[in-house]
Amino acid sequence: MASSSVAADMELDHPNLEDYLPPDSLPQEAPRNLHLRDLLDISPVLTEAAGAIVDDSFTRCFKSNSPEPWNWNIYLFPLWCFGVVIRYGILFPLRSLTLAIGWLAFFAAFFPVHFLLKGQDKLRSKIERKLVEMMCSVFVASWTGVIKYHGPRPSTRPHQVFVANHTSMIDFIILEQMTAFAVIMQKHPGWVGFIQKTILESVGCIWFNRNDLRDREVTARKLREHVQHPDSNPLLIFPEGTCVNNQYTVMFKKGAFELGCAVCPIAIKYNKIFVDAFWNSKKQSFTMHLVRLMTSWAVVCDVWYLEPQYLREGETAIAFAERVRDMIAARAGLKKVPWDGYLKHNRPSPKHTEEKQRIFADSVLRRLEEK
Amino acid sequence: MGSTSSMLTQYDIEEVQDHCDHAFSQQEIVSLYHRFCQLDRNGGGFVSADEFMSVPEFAVNPLSQRLLRMLDGLNFKEFVAFLSAFSPRTSLQQKIEFIFRVYDTDCNGKVAFEDILSILRDLSGSFMTEEQRQKVLTHVLEEAGYTKDSHFTLPDFMKVRSSSFSRSIYSSHKSNQLS
C-alpha cells in the first residue's frame, strides 16, 4: 500500500463523500418498478463495506510512516552507526543538559516572581509571559528546532482566536516560543499535567474533558469570556481535537468558529526527512516522543501565519470552519478527509447509518408507488 | 500463518493464493497483508469485531453487524478468502454465492422469506414499518412467481439474480486500491 501510485493516492484521498451516496445514484435509470432481483441486490452496500475493510481514509490519517532505511550497504552502514553514536552519545546528553539547566533557571525565576509580585498583576503577567516564551525556546533548542516563521507575527489584542493544525504537543511549544498564547487543552496525567496546572495557568489556559458532554457549554462560555477580555493572551485552539500525522487534516470542530471574532489560521508543516514529528498518543507516551525528538538530528518545520478570517454573510460556523481548513490544508500541503477526529476514540454516531437507511427506504417506497 | 509476524514468505503467499482460488495476485496479497496487520492492532493473528468497527467507514455501513459475524476471528488466509468475492477475477457464480451466504444467516442452505426480511430490516432501519417491509417483499415475490413460503436454494438464487447484471458489482476500481 505504501507504494501505491500518486495518481491512485490522489483519487483515493479526494473527500470520498461520493462513497456515501446511495446506490441509487449510480448510472441513473428512471425509477422503474421494483423487482425481486433489485431487492436482493445488496452488492453496492457489500462493496462499500469491503472497500472500507481494504482501505479507508480515516486510518490513513493516523499512520506514522516509517522512514525508508538508507543505511543498507557497506559504505552507508558505518556512516549511519557513526551518526547514531553522535546522536545518542553526544547530542542527546548535551540537549538534556540544556533542557535541565533551562528548567532550573525557569523555575528559579518563575516561582519567586509568581509569589512575590502577587500584588502587581500586570507586571507579573508580563514577566511570566516572557519566562514561558524563554522556556519554550529552550525546549526548541533541545531538539535543535529549525523553525521558519512566515507571515506577520500575531498581535496581542482582543477579539481574535488562532487556529492551527495539530500534529503533536510540540506544536504548542513551537508557537508559544514566538508569542505567549493562551491555550485550551485536555488535562493530561503525569508531569505534563503538573506543568499544565502550575505554569500554563499563568498564560491563561482553559481546561476541558473530552469525554464529558456537559463540559462543552461550560467550555464555550469560558472561550467567549476569554476572547472578549482585553488583557488576556491571544487564544490558540487546535480545532482538529486530536493529533493527526501531518499529511492529512480531519474535520475542524466548530467551537472556535462561533465565537463571533476574527479567526487567524496558522499552518504548520514538519519536514519528514529529519524526523517524523507525529505523536501517536496511543503508541507512545509524551516522554518517549520527546526522547525520540531529542535523539534525531533536528526538527525542521515551517509555520505560516495566515490572514485573519471573518464569518461571512449567511455562512454557518461549520462552513466557516471548512473554509479555514481549506486554507490551512492548501498552505501546508495536507489532504482533507471528511472525518471527525474524535472517531479515534469513539464509534461514529448512528445517524450516519440512519441516513443511509432512510435513503434506501425512500427509494424502495417511491418505486413501489410507481406501479 | 497463525501469528501476524511481519515477514511473509513466498510459500505463505502461494498458500493463501491457492486458498482463495487465485482471486488475487501476489502483489495484492502482500498489500492485503499490510492492511491486515494494520487492522490487527493487538497482534493476535486475527482482527476482532472491535478492530473492524474502529474503521468508521465500515461502522456506518448498515450491513456491518451481519458481515462482522462472518468476519470475526478470521486469520489472514480466511480473511483473503472472504474478500475474494470482491475481486474482478472471481466468477459471477462465486459472487452470487457470496451474497447467498450473507443472506443465509442460519447457514442451512436455504434463504426464506424471513431471511430476506431481516436483511431488509438492516437496510431500511426505522424508516419502513414492519408492515411495509412485508408488503414490499410479498409483492415482489409474487410478481416474480414465488410465494411467501418459497425457499431459495443457491440455484434458485442464481436464476433470479443473473437476470439483471447491468451494474457491475464489485467494480474493478476497488481492486486498484490494492495494487
Does B103 contact A at CB distance below 8 Å? yes
- Domain-located, residue A88: no
Mind listing the pLDDT tens digit for each residue in B93-115?
A: 888 888 888 888 888 888 888 88
Does A25 contact B at CB distance below 8 Å? no
Mind listing the pLDDT tens digit for each residue in B2-25?
A: 334 457 889 989 999 998 888 899
Q: Give CA–CA dist A246/B76, Å, rounded.
A: 31
Residue A57: per-residue pLDDT: 84
pLDDT value at B170 more than 70 = no
A-B CB pairs within 8 A amount to: 171
Per the listing, cell 465565537 goes with: A259
Q: Give the residue on A whose Cα is nearest the Cα of B54.
A: A347
- Domain-located, residue A166: yes
Least CB–CB distance from B177: residue in A55, A339, A343: A55
Which residues of chain A does B176 touch, with a Cβ-Cβ cutoff of 8 Å? 8
Q: At what angle do helices A43-54 and B76-83 cross, to 10 degrees?
A: 140
> Structural domain of residue A241, as residue ranges?
144-344
Does A153 contact B at CB distance below 8 Å? no
Residue A8: per-residue pLDDT: 40
Domains in chain B (CATH in brackets) are: 10-90 (1.10.238.10), 93-178 (1.10.238.10)
Does A8 contact B at CB distance below 8 Å? yes
Does B70 contact A at CB distance below 8 Å? no
- Structural domain count, chain A: 1
Q: Is A150 exposed, middle or buried (0-12, 13-18, 19+ CB in 10 A)?
A: exposed
- Domain-located, residue A256: yes
Helix intervals (H) in chain A: 6-13, 36-40, 43-54, 57-60, 76-84, 92-116, 121-142, 170-178, 190-195, 201-203, 215-228, 286-294, 317-332, 350-369
Residue B169: per-residue pLDDT: 44
Residue A29: per-residue pLDDT: 47
- Domain-located, residue A113: no
Mind listing the pLDDT tens digit for each residue in B151-166?
A: 888 888 888 776 654 3
Which residues of chain A does B179 touch, with a Cβ-Cβ cutoff of 8 Å? 4
Mind listing the pLDDT tens digit for each residue in A142-168?
A: 888 899 999 998 888 888 899 999 998
Residue A33: per-residue pLDDT: 67
Does B1 contact A at CB distance below 8 Å? no
User: What is the full DSSP assignment across A284-298?
Assistant: --HHHHHHHHHTSS-
Residue B178: per-residue pLDDT: 52
pLDDT < 70 positions in chain A: 1-33, 66-68, 210, 370-371
Average pLDDT over chain B, rounded to whole?
Answer: 81
Q: Give the residue on B whose Cα is nearest the Cα of A16.
A: B57
Does B137 contact A at CB distance below 8 Å? yes
Bridge partners, A182 (sequence order): A235
Q: Which of residues 316-345 of A touch B (CB under 8 A)?
A: 339, 343
Contact B89, B17 (CB under 8 A): no
- Domain-located, residue A235: yes
- Domain-located, residue A224: yes
Bridge partners, B61 (sequence order): none
pTM of the model: 0.76
- Domain-located, residue A238: yes
- Domain-located, residue A229: yes
Which regions of B23-171 does DSSP assign to beta strands (E)? none
Which residues of chain B does A42 touch, with a Cβ-Cβ cutoff of 8 Å? 63, 99, 102, 119, 123
Residue A268: per-residue pLDDT: 94
